[in-house]
Amino acid sequence: MKTTTLFALSFVLAGALAGQTPKPAPAAPSVPPKDEPVQLDKFAVAAEKENNFSLPLDAIATSGSRLGLTSRELPASVSIITQEMMQLRGLRTAVEAVEAAVGMTGGTQFGSIPNYSTRGFGGNNVTILRDGIRQNTASQSSRTVDSFILDRIEVLKGPDGLMFGEGAIGGAVNYISKSPSADFRGDAMASYGAWGSYRAGVGVGGPVGKTGVSYRADFSHNQTYAYQERNSQRYDALALSLAWRVTDRLTLTWFGTFLDDWNESYYGSPVIYDAVVNTTIAAAQPEVRLFANATDRMVNPRVDPAARRTNYNFFDNYAKTENVFNRVRADLRLAPAVELRNETYVATQLLKWKNTESNTWNPVAKNITRGGLTLIYRDDVLVGDRLDLTVKTPVVGHANRLVVGAVFEHNDQIRGGAAGNQVTALPAVSLLYPDVGYAPASRFQKTSRIGVETHAFHLQDVFDVTSRFRAVAGLRYDHISLQRDTLANPTTTPATAFSTFKKGYRTTTGRVGGVFILTKEINAYASFSRAAEPVTQLVSLTATSADFSLQKGRQYEAGLKGTFFRGQLDATVAVFDLLKKDLLTSTTDPVTGIRTNQQIGAQKSKGVEAALAVSPGDGWRVELNGAFTDSTYADFNENLGTGIISRAGKRPSNVPEWVANLFVAKRFAHGLALSGGPRYVSDRFGNNNNSVVAEGYVVLDASASYTWRRTTFTLRGRNLLDETYEPVAGTTMRRLSDPRTAEFTVRTSF
């Protein structure tokens, strides 16, 4: 279905259901200027806390359900990072903002791809969405986003196929756009830091006279030359929204987000080592040879300080993308207790990628071996429609809210790479003085087209069983159809078209839970949730994976959410038991000895998460969160080609046991404020063999700010302990953090 047709249908449906003439929006109540003192009532104080604290328990958790439940009312863990919180803490990107949530780790991987990990699962196990819409898996479509254009970020923990369908076994990260505002407001920001880094942003929003129309527009520019040589990056973002209150019952809203980024890629510093030891052989002696990731341990692994800023990518490398998101939402109140919402959306991505993506130490030749030329081409168009009907009516005298909905999506994805018979080999270079040169002559070629059609139906319900117990449940059914057409074979001349592969999946997922209302401000809860995902991301699925079913994920969770000491302390605690099963694992036939792949593997994770936010008064704020995760492979074997090795009992790569954040802020008289705190991440492994260790680290940030009228000036120091660490664990390459830096930021509102 064409994009214009879907937009037209959304408007026609909404208009037909309304059947009323437009009415102007009611006049907004007058408010005193922001620079005049205001006597705040209790509601205003609560609203300020919801915006500025990391535990907004009474904020609507849209990523946790479509029932309009607050975080306090939801039997699941949802962290909300608001725009005000991002500003206060100096969280420049979505990745930095997500790391402020309990138990989350993140990092920007190669080619500007954000990567998140939580509760023992990372990578594509953590879904990344924009306004509840997933363009593709994280590794396929996720890009770096400046935090300025976002209203908030919501992080949902654990499996949740109920909300987002296929994927989301580890969790989901939802970037939420700013909405049109009923009152005029403007914001501007400018920041300058080390290595030519600077950010700028401006946003305005408000009503258009008395027409019933309001708007919001935000633009951000983020650019840096970066600490590593030839690692320039540029990110531009424009977010627009327009709301029209057609009648008292009908509102139409359009959201448009336009992202453009370009960067030279730094893929990591090579790890040099003196020798390797085969961990699968008892009393094995060190050998001077190339490192084997599946079996070896390095002797004295390190990054040479003299090569700390060296980039081994060729001179003309680049990765550039254009992402566009358009969404039209119609909100219609059919009756006092019946509401209808329809969202029609289109998301596109165009990406070109030209790099060499590995540079590894050769201990024999004492030089750096580089991987071959990598060309990647992506051209995606996602078209979808999401319809929800909400009915709020008592059942047998008890309050009840029911949502029935459907989702229809078509994702058209073109993939490509290097055309056939191209020279892709690159010569080795020296460690300290590499002559990286330019890439071999090359051109992009479209090689395949993948269409994914999704039809999903769901229902969600919250029922007040008693005044002290509330049941919350949901069920979702997905029917997924995939067709992969090979457009060309790049290994032949001339390239020829051949083959079509089709695959279908049907899966049912959901969540069921109960909320125990202990007091007006303290709730306990317990829940069970499920999710499913294919053995490889759908866009990469081929005939070789045709016989495999979806991998399943399930989680048991229980916890407590509450406000204590007359509103001065908010706290949450959760315990979880998460299992992902039907992993592909290698087995050997006991009779024939033939190695095959079977879906009998499993990964399990147990842990506890806790967070608190304290506002004792006198301008103080203290926030602390921490998570402990015990994650292992329960049953998993790797096929080494020469044999099979068990990973049972090993910890998955890039999963820390401990993650903790502490943030302290103090406001003084006359506009002065100090804030900051440390972040701790424990050791992680870089491989399934657990023989490569990324050491734990502590990062300390702090800031001093002065506010004059509506303008705040901030001097911020980052990584004040000057730690050298890996945000995301590597093996033969380490993508290292920036050293100690400082930046100056000016923010104003008007």
For residues 692 and 686, the answer to whether their CB atoms sit within 8 Å is yes
Alpha-carbon distance of 559 to 684, in angstroms, equals 27
For residues 200 and 146, the answer to whether their CB atoms sit within 8 Å is no
Structure confidence at residue 23 (pLDDT): 41
Task: Tell whether the model's pLDDT for residue 580 goes beyond 50.
Answer: yes
Confidence of residue 17 (pLDDT cuts 50, 70, 90): very low
* Mean pLDDT for the stretch of residues 28-41: 40
pLDDT tens string 557-576: 999 999 999 889 999 999 99
Our measurement of the distance from residue 741's CA atom to the centroid of its chain's CA atoms, rounded to an integer in Å, reads: 25
Q: DSSP labels for 414-465?
A: EEEEEPTT-------B-SSS-----PPS--EEEEEEEEEEEEEEEEEEEEES
pLDDT tens string 406-459: 999 999 999 998 876 666 778 999 999 999 999 988 889 999 999 999 999 999
pLDDT tens string 499-519: 899 999 999 999 999 999 999
Alpha-carbon distance of 137 to 157, in angstroms, equals 17
Strand partners, 275: 299
Give me the half-sphere count of Cα atoms (radius 13 Å) on the Cβ side of residue 351: 26
Alpha-carbon distance of 192 to 188, in angstroms, equals 14
Q: What percent of the chain stands above pLDDT 90?
A: 75
Structural element, H or E, at residue 13: helix 3-18
Task: Tell whether the model's pLDDT for residue 26 goes beyond 50.
Answer: no
Structure confidence at residue 644 (pLDDT): 80
CA distances from 502 to 167, 382, 446, 538 (A): 20, 19, 19, 11
pLDDT tens string 271-312: 999 999 999 899 999 999 999 998 999 999 999 999 999 999
Residue for token digits 């979808």?
384
Residue for token digits 């292992």?
632
For residues 126 and 116, the answer to whether their CB atoms sit within 8 Å is yes
Task: Tell whether the model's pLDDT for residue 639 goes beyond 80.
Answer: no
Confidence of residue 595 (pLDDT cuts 50, 70, 90): low
Task: Tell whether the model's pLDDT for residue 617 goes beyond 70.
Answer: yes
Alpha-carbon distance of 515 to 522, in angstroms, equals 10
pLDDT tens string 652-695: 999 999 999 999 999 999 999 999 999 999 999 999 999 999 99
* Spatial CA neighbour of 450 closest among 488, 490, 505, 501: 501
Q: How many domains does the chain have?
A: 1
Task: Tell whether the model's pLDDT for residue 402 goes beyond 80.
Answer: yes
Q: What is the mean pLDDT of the chain?
A: 89
Structure confidence at residue 636 (pLDDT): 81
CA-CA-CA-CA torsion sign (49, 717, 203, 105): negative
* Mean pLDDT for the stretch of residues 574-590: 82
* Spatial CA neighbour of 690 closest among 638, 643, 736: 638
Residue for token digits 């500025």?
52
Our measurement of the distance from residue 513's CA atom to the centroid of its chain's CA atoms, rounded to an integer in Å, reads: 25
Alpha-carbon distance of 420 to 443, in angstroms, equals 9
Structure confidence at residue 497 (pLDDT): 53
What six digits make up the tokens of 90? 């100096």
Structure confidence at residue 42 (pLDDT): 40
CATH number for 11:
2.40.170.20
Confidence of residue 488 (pLDDT cuts 50, 70, 90): confident
Task: Tell whether the model's pLDDT for residue 631 goes beyond 70.
Answer: yes
Buried b (16+ CB within 10 A) or exposed e, 622-654: bbbbbbbbebbbbbbbbbeeeeebebeebbbbb
For residues 268 and 733, the answer to whether their CB atoms sit within 8 Å is yes
pLDDT tens string 355-381: 998 999 999 999 999 988 899 999 999
For residues 488 and 446, the answer to whether their CB atoms sit within 8 Å is yes
Q: Where are the beta strands (DSSP E) in 65-197?
A: 78-82, 105-109, 113-118, 121-122, 126-130, 150-157, 171-177, 185-193
Strand order in the sheet with 105-109: 105-109, 113-118, 121-122
The residue type at 534: P
Q: Which domain holds residue 559?
A: 3-749
Q: DSSP labels for 30-80?
A: P---TTS-----HHHHHHHHHHHSS--TTSB-TTT-SS--BTTT-SS-EEE
* Mean pLDDT for the stretch of residues 39-62: 62
Residue 29's contacts (CB-CB under 8 Å, 6 or more residues apart) are none
For residues 152 and 80, the answer to whether their CB atoms sit within 8 Å is yes
What six digits make up the tokens of 214? 């309001």
Residue for token digits 């069920």?
475
Alpha-carbon distance of 311 to 447, in angstroms, equals 30
Confidence of residue 542 (pLDDT cuts 50, 70, 90): confident
Better pLDDT: 383 or 639: 383
Task: Tell whether the model's pLDDT for residue 700 goes beyond 90.
Answer: yes
The residue type at 596: T
For residues 690 and 655, the answer to whether their CB atoms sit within 8 Å is no
Residue 614's contacts (CB-CB under 8 Å, 6 or more residues apart) are 568, 569, 620, 621, 622, 623
Angle at 603 between CA 600 and CA 606, to 5 degrees: 145
